[in-house]
Amino acid sequence: MVAAQPPLAGQDGIKQGQLSVQKSPKKPDIKEIRLRGDVAAVHGSLAWLWAAHTTPTNPPPPSQPHTAIMRWLSKALSAATAALLINAASAQTWSSCNPLQNSDCPSDDALGMSINIDFTKGSVNSFAASGSPDYDDEGVAFTVSTGGDAPQLASLFYIMFGRVEITMKAAPGAGIVSSLVLQSDVLDEIDIEWLGSDNDEIQSNYFGKGQTTSYNRGEFHQVSNTQGEWITYTIDWTKDRIIWMAGGTVVRTLNSGDAEDNQYPQTPMQVKFGSWAGGDPNHNSPGTVKWAKGPTDYSQGPFTMRVQSLVVTDYSTGSEYKYKDTSGSWESIEAVGGEVNGNENGDAITVTATAEGSVATTNNVPVGGIAEDGSPATATQTGWPWTGSRPSGGAIPSGWRLNAEGRIIPEENGAPSSLQPYHSLVVMAPLLAGILTFAGRLF
């Protein structure tokens, strides 16, 4: 008898590489399983280990030679180590829970502050990677070179109103899309997209509660040389309005009263950015290929989006954001240990003018703005487009906090930390080794 293996990150019932432009079916009501801290991770590992080794033939009876028992213990240690690696890789497995449909959804980790991330210094552990983002002295690179590639980073935290500033160069190439997406668990969404076939244009977009209606929210804006120059783009979001900016110039303002009924984004948002091939007809519908101005010719690649830095400011304070009811309104959000809009007055941008030249889109603009990576490098496959589920990467562990550089550090001393996904393994490996040594002395 062989016990079932624990699921790998991303195995949530959707086949690897599966892509769809249709609205995803209703997700399970369980949004996430939070394995808070190393103790929970070890408990899960030992529980699986016990199940795997309590059949009639495991472990060997005491009558068997000492070497056989030691071999079994060695296998047990290897299995426990592997289980810890799996727990570390999934680092708190995510599944979706829409608070519009379920009043018991777990709360979202809050940023509650402002962080300034310099990607030229390398990665930060407050963002989970999907696919294979690369780092060099220019920052983080998101490269699309073959079908299914969609490298991306997604924050482990949420903001409840706030500002996101990204300094970047968009990826070139027909059908290649670079994206910055703010998205909530109820599928509120604010986007900026850059189409690789248009070096001098960007697109702004928003959705409420996952409703696309007639895809009439997007607008195109003239911005010169988006692929060749480092340009800072900003989304500034409050309960009253959303402002999209490029290079310090406002390109669009949406007042909450001007949004369609119940369509103004107003729930805690996760920050995601990356690139993908919307123009690949093998992975997307004809409507998406047309919108992305494909088809994509991979022989002309690779195609790379580069991000130099990211500044994220949460206009609310506290440690978590909780939905108090299923209305999806900002008034229903509780900031645990803080206040919704508690940071707004000091950091919000106050502007009313909008740059000339904004043009409404005529093609269907996809929800989510980015694909899930279909390359072998990723363990997270939830289909296209994003529908509120998060890549496996974990949450901010209990006893840790974010610093101003976007790194997760211990709360007790505030010193920089090298916390990595394999943290549990590093901590628990000596304990497991000690158990094996002690067991060896018994025989």
* Same domain flag for 197 and 330: yes
* Same domain flag for 187 and 227: yes
Task: Establish whether 189 is a catalytic residue.
Answer: yes
Identify the domain boundary among 340, 360, 380. Answer: 360
Q: What is the count of structural domains for the chain?
A: 2
* Same domain flag for 143 and 239: yes
**Is residue 383 domain-resident?**
no
Q: How far is CA 208 from the centre of its chain?
A: 19
**Is residue 149 domain-resident?**
yes
Q: Would you state the pLDDT for residue 416?
A: 39
**Is residue 384 domain-resident?**
no
Q: Would you state the pLDDT for residue 262?
A: 84
* Same domain flag for 243 and 279: yes
**Is residue 378 domain-resident?**
no
Provide the β-strand partners of residue 320: 109, 336
**Is residue 252 domain-resident?**
yes
Provide the β-strand partners of residue 237: 162, 242
Identify the domain boundary among 360, 379, 412. Answer: 360
**Is residue 141 domain-resident?**
yes
* Number of helical H runs and strand E runs in the chain: 5, 21
**Is residue 367 domain-resident?**
no
Q: Is the dihedral of CA 322, 327, 329, 332 positive or negative?
A: negative
Taking 70 as the pLDDT cut, the residues of the chain under it are: 1-96, 212-216, 345-395, 397, 412-443
Q: How far is CA 307 from the centre of its chain?
A: 16
Provide the β-strand partners of residue 155: 127
Given 138, 165, 193, 405, the catalytic residue: 193
Q: Would you state the pLDDT for residue 213?
A: 59
Q: Would you state the pLDDT for residue 430?
A: 47
CATH number at residue 191: 2.60.120.200
| Residue 52, domain extent | 37-91+422-441
* Same domain flag for 274 and 312: yes
Given 32, 138, 165, 189, the catalytic residue: 189
Instruction: Find all residues with CB under 8 Å of 136, minimum gap 6, and list them.
Output: 120
Task: Establish whether 201 is a catalytic residue.
Answer: no
Q: Would you state the pLDDT for residue 273?
A: 98
Identify the domain boundary among 325, 360, 395. Answer: 360
Q: Would you state the pLDDT for residue 395?
A: 63
**Is residue 9 domain-resident?**
no
Q: Would you state the pLDDT for residue 345?
A: 67
Closest CA to 10 of 374, 391, 396: 391
* Same domain flag for 273 and 345: yes
